[in-house]
Amino acid sequence: MEEKECIFCKIARGEVPSDKIYEDEHTFAFLDIEPNNLGHSLVIPKEHFKNVYETPDEVLGQIMATVKKVTLAVKKGMGAEGINIANNNEPAAGQLVFHIHVHIIPRYSNDGFHHWPAKPNFTPEQFKEAAENIKKAL
């Protein structure tokens, strides 16, 4: 999708309204319109990059600095007991908006969410092979 049509570019430019939390020269933070818990926030770079694969390290650093700032504010402002920080890349991983963003989700011990279940049946050989495959790809 072109930047012109990208919903998060439009939000960063102020062309589409959002519940803005914070902005600086490079990043913008606002409330997710369909929150997992109230206060669920998104941090985006103002410049358009599709996903983490394509985002320069320098921009990732700017995003993460804002993620930390907003995380501390969400924790304090929403009285969160914990925070999940998440980033989805590609449709198979649940990415719906193709402008990189980081989710900051306030969590409470009684909010009913659980960790993703572990798949328990891999062999030690499979672990070794997976580690080798990943190391080779570095």
Minimum distance from residue 132 beta carbon to ligand 5GP (Å): 30
Which one is catalytic: 48, 99, 101, 103?
A: 101
Cβ proximity to ligand 5GP, 64 vs 97, nearer residue? 97
Q: Are 44 and 27 in contact (CB under 8 A)?
A: yes
Distance CA 52, CA 61 (A): 12
Alpha-carbon distance of 116 to 47, in angstroms, equals 32
Q: Which helix (H) or strand (E) holds 111?
A: none
Task: Give the nearer residue to ligand 5GP in terms of CB position, either 16 or 131.
Answer: 16
The only residue of 21, 27, 30, 48 in contact with Zn ion, by rule CB under 5 A: 48
- Distance of alpha carbon 37 from alpha carbon 3, whole angstroms: 29
Q: Which of 3, 22, 26, 32 binds ligand 5GP (CB under 6 A)?
A: 32
Nearer to Zn ion, 7 or 85 (CB): 7
Give residues with Cβ within 8 angstroms of 106, minimum separation 6.
37, 38, 39, 40, 74, 75, 78, 80, 82, 83
Q: Is 99 in the site for Zn ion (CB under 5 A)?
A: yes
Q: Does 97 bind ligand 5GP (CB under 6 A)?
A: yes
Which listed option, Zn ion, ligand 5GP, none, makes contact with residue 48 (CB within 5 to 8 Å by class)?
Zn ion
Residue 101 known to be catalytic: yes
Of 1, 14, 20, 33, the one binding ligand 5GP (CB under 6 A) is 33
- Give the span between the Cα atoms of 114 and 132, in whole angstroms: 30
Question: Which residues form the interface with ligand 5GP (CB under 6 A)?
Answer: 7, 18, 30-34, 88, 94-97
